[in-house]
Amino acid sequence: MTSAEAPPSTGHVSGLGLDDVRVRFGELAAVDGVSLRLPPGDVLAVLGPSGCGKSTLLRAVAGLEPLAGGRITWEGADLARVPTYQRGFAMMFQDGQLFGHMSVARNVAYGLKLKGVRGAELSAEVDRLLTLVGLEGRGDDVPATLSGGQQQRVALARALGARPRLLLLDEPLSALDRDLRERLALDLRTVLHDTSTTAVMVTHDRDEARVVADVVALMDHGKLTAFGAPEDVLGPR
Ligand code: ADP
Ligand code: MG
């Protein structure tokens, strides 16, 4: 490539970019200068002890916490002036926060309807998503009749239905018991890879990070202390 063809010096970066991101709560530097890159299609796990700033970092990416410094970019474009609902990101939490009065199918349809999907295409897409998360045929059930793990699968299907450019997961499995968590972690990996979903998952469970993630970030006191392949950051199993 000649210099005339070189990209602009701002450097177009595909996927998610964090440059010296800072979030403060008064005197507390909850996120203290985090920089990283996440290419499209990759799954990043953010690991660290309780209170180290994982959720705050995720919320900053979602546009739910104002930055005290630094930059968050998507495909090289600064998101500073892009509100949460225009970022095209979806979030999923520890408690999937399903609509209890709606059937499983209507919960999953919710994100699709926001995207303008209607009619036969809508029901076909709901069925596809329910099959993807292993809940084929459960569309007419109400969330209260499902197990915790099944409810998280519905929440995942609903989040994927919004066809997010980036899926943000805050301890999505931590409310579940150990056995179920291990199985669901494997399923989560499969679903994210099969759908080529770019994702950032917060967890405090190293095994979960190993199973789900392509790349792992360790945080401590608001700072990134390690970043790389799971086996490099976490060591061999
Ligand atoms: P983690 O998700 O890693 O457990 P958090 O990002 O939730 O950690 O919190 C990081 C630090 O910021 C903690 O000390 C927490 O008490 C503090 N914190 C989080 N949210 C707020 C808030 N809205 N106001 C004040 N302090 C907060
Ligand atoms: Mg948290």
Q: Which two tokens stand for residue 102?
A: 């709606």
User: Which one of the ligands is nearest to 66 CA?
Assistant: 1
228: CA distance to ligand 2 center in Å?
21
Residue with CA closest to ligand 1 atom 22 = 25
Instruction: Measure the CA angle with vertex 62, ends 58 and 64; round to 5°.
Output: 95
Q: What pLDDT, on the 0 to 100 scale, is given for residue 96?
A: 73
Question: Is 51 a pocket residue for ligand 1 (Cβ < 6 Å)?
Answer: yes
CATH fold label, 1-88+165-237: Rossmann fold (3.40.50)
Ligand 1 atom index nearest CA of 49: 3
136: CA distance to ligand 2 center in Å?
31
Query: Does position 11 have pLDDT exceeding 60, yes or no?
Result: no
Question: Is 27 a pocket residue for ligand 1 (Cβ < 6 Å)?
Answer: no
Percent over 90 (pLDDT), the chain? 80
- Model confidence over 122-161: pLDDT tens digits? 999 999 999 989 999 999 999 999 999 999 999 999 999 8
Query: Does position 13 have pLDDT exceeding 80, yes or no?
Result: no
Cβ pair 211, 189 in contact under 8 A: yes
56: CA distance to ligand 1 center in Å?
6
Classify the phi-psi angles of 90: left when phi > 0, otherwise alpha if psi is within -120 to 50, otherwise beta: beta
Residue with CA closest to ligand 1 atom 27 = 25
Ligand 1 atom index nearest CA of 58: 6
Cβ pair 168, 62 in contact under 8 A: yes
Q: Output the average pLDDT for the chain.
A: 92
Residue ranges of the domains in the chain? 1-88+165-237, 99-163
